[in-house]
Amino acid sequence: MNRKIVCFAGLKKFFGDETSIEMAPEESYANLLEKLGELNPEAKEVLTSCRIAVNEKFVPLNETINDQTTLFLIPPSSGG
Protein backbone atom coordinates (compact mmCIF):
# COMPACT_ATOMS: atom_id res chain seq x y z
CA MET A 1 0.00 0.00 0.00
CA ASN A 2 1.23 3.46 -0.86
CA ARG A 3 1.68 5.71 2.20
CA LYS A 4 1.57 9.50 1.98
CA ILE A 5 4.03 11.17 4.36
CA VAL A 6 3.85 14.86 5.23
CA CYS A 7 7.22 16.27 6.31
CA PHE A 8 7.99 19.17 8.61
CA ALA A 9 10.90 21.55 9.27
CA GLY A 10 14.34 20.27 8.24
CA LEU A 11 12.95 17.08 6.74
CA LYS A 12 11.60 19.12 3.84
CA LYS A 13 15.12 19.53 2.46
CA PHE A 14 15.36 15.75 2.12
CA PHE A 15 11.83 14.83 1.02
CA GLY A 16 9.99 18.05 0.13
CA ASP A 17 6.66 18.96 1.74
CA GLU A 18 5.45 15.43 1.27
CA THR A 19 6.52 12.13 -0.18
CA SER A 20 5.06 8.67 -0.53
CA ILE A 21 6.44 5.20 -0.12
CA GLU A 22 5.16 1.70 -0.77
CA MET A 23 4.64 -0.30 2.45
CA ALA A 24 3.24 -3.75 3.12
CA PRO A 25 0.27 -3.79 5.54
CA GLU A 26 2.16 -5.69 8.26
CA GLU A 27 5.18 -3.36 8.40
CA SER A 28 5.98 -1.17 11.39
CA TYR A 29 6.59 2.56 11.59
CA ALA A 30 10.26 1.75 12.27
CA ASN A 31 10.38 -0.01 8.87
CA LEU A 32 8.98 3.15 7.32
CA LEU A 33 11.87 5.20 8.74
CA GLU A 34 14.35 2.62 7.41
CA LYS A 35 12.84 2.82 3.93
CA LEU A 36 12.96 6.61 4.01
CA GLY A 37 16.65 6.38 4.94
CA GLU A 38 17.22 4.13 1.93
CA LEU A 39 15.32 6.60 -0.26
CA ASN A 40 17.60 9.45 0.88
CA PRO A 41 20.71 8.28 2.80
CA GLU A 42 21.57 11.88 3.75
CA ALA A 43 18.46 11.91 5.96
CA LYS A 44 19.38 8.81 8.00
CA GLU A 45 20.87 10.72 10.93
CA VAL A 46 17.84 12.95 11.48
CA LEU A 47 15.40 10.07 10.89
CA THR A 48 16.77 8.26 13.96
CA SER A 49 15.32 11.08 16.11
CA CYS A 50 12.01 11.58 14.29
CA ARG A 51 8.55 10.76 15.53
CA ILE A 52 5.53 9.76 13.50
CA ALA A 53 2.05 11.12 14.14
CA VAL A 54 -1.26 9.67 12.98
CA ASN A 55 -4.63 11.27 13.77
CA GLU A 56 -2.90 14.01 15.81
CA LYS A 57 -1.16 11.48 18.11
CA PHE A 58 2.37 10.14 18.15
CA VAL A 59 2.61 6.40 17.49
CA PRO A 60 5.17 3.91 18.84
CA LEU A 61 7.69 2.96 16.17
CA ASN A 62 7.26 -0.76 16.87
CA GLU A 63 3.52 -0.55 16.15
CA THR A 64 2.18 -1.97 12.89
CA ILE A 65 0.98 0.56 10.34
CA ASN A 66 -2.79 0.48 10.13
CA ASP A 67 -5.04 1.75 7.37
CA GLN A 68 -3.98 5.40 7.65
CA THR A 69 -2.94 6.75 4.30
CA THR A 70 -1.35 9.98 5.59
CA LEU A 71 1.43 9.96 8.15
CA PHE A 72 3.16 13.00 9.63
CA LEU A 73 6.91 12.85 10.09
CA ILE A 74 8.09 15.17 12.88
CA PRO A 75 11.82 15.90 13.31
CA PRO A 76 13.36 16.82 16.65
CA SER A 77 13.06 20.49 17.49
CA SER A 78 14.28 22.90 20.11
CA GLY A 79 13.15 26.32 21.07
CA GLY A 80 14.10 29.11 23.30
Q: What is the 3-state secondary structure (H, E, C) of the chain?
A: CEEEEEECHHHHHHHCCEEEEECCCCCEHHHHHHHHHHHCHHHHHHHCCCEEEECCEEECCCCECCCCCEEEEECCCCCC
Residue 1 has pLDDT above 90, yes or no: no
Domain ranges of the chain: 2-74
Predicted structure pTM score: 0.88
- Report the top-level CATH class of 2-74: alpha beta
State residue 74's pLDDT score.
Answer: 94
pLDDT in tens, 9-19: 989 999 999 99
Q: What is the pLDDT of residues 22-66, one digit of tens each?
A: 988 889 999 999 999 999 999 999 999 999 999 889 999 999 988
